Amino acid sequence: MPSLPQRIGAELLGTFFATLVPTSVDILYFTGAHVDFVSRWLARGFFTAAIIYAFSEFSGAHIDPAVSLGFMLRRVMRLSDMVAYWMAQFGGALLATVLAYALWGSEIAFGASHPGPGYSHPVAFVAEIIATFLLMVIILGTAEHEGQVGKQAAIAVGLTVATCGFFVGPISGASMNPARSLLPEIFSGRFDLLWIYAFGPCIGAALAVAVMTLLCGPPKAGEVKAARGG
């Protein structure tokens, strides 16, 4: 089992890139820098799979406070560990946002998650719940089978992230990750959107845990490994 500092370091570094990459891709997409709609979401899916391959053995590669919350509610992660993961995840997101702001200045607003044209804030909120629910179901579903934990789950989770981008992206930006969204929004001054991307993913993850508990019963050994790495 990796030590807590190793796990925290993996989550900080992983979330740094999990914030920097989608923020940068969205800035390039909205400023017309030769990034099309398909590439925008495939980049996130591919990168998520790569991060899981790289860091799943160290920390479980949550790189998302909503995922850590889900594992804690599933009772395969201690509350104290979840808080430590959250601190690392938001710390990594902060560093990534500072770097993005240094590179693009006020254009960071294009990289912050926001509802699509014609969609209200409540609709975007529901979209975030649905997308994160699907993501957490896939994470827990693959973790039910111990042989699919870690690197074997990377493809399934990466494809889910890309798929959610295709059908939820135009509605809410398909964040599914409070750390990735909240810091760029704060730097761009969009405080009216914080509730969408703070509570939507967390509610979606909690609902997924409730459903998977009904379907699968108590957590399995694979879920413990998925939550903690090792």
Give the count of beta carbons closer than 10 Å to the beta carbon of residue 221. Answer: 12
Q: Give the C-alpha separation, 86 to 72, whole Å.
A: 12
Residue 149: per-residue pLDDT: 55
Instruction: Please list the rounded mean pLDDT of every run of 10 residues in the chain (230 residues).
Output: 88 96 93 88 93 89 95 94 96 97 94 94 97 95 66 86 94 96 94 96 98 90 78
To the question of domain 4-228 being in CATH 1.20.1080.10, the answer is yes
Return left, alpha or beta for 61; rule: phi > 0 is left, psi -120 to 50 is alpha, else beta.
left
pLDDT of 3 reads 86
Q: For the whole prediction, is pTM greater than 0.75? A: yes
Residue 6: predicted pLDDT = 92
> Which conformational region is residue 34 in: left (phi greater than 0), alpha (psi within -120 to 50 degrees), or beta?
left
∠ CA 197-199-203 to the nearest 5 degrees? 120
Domain boundaries, the chain: 4-228
pLDDT at 29: 92
* Tokens describing residue 77: 């992660």
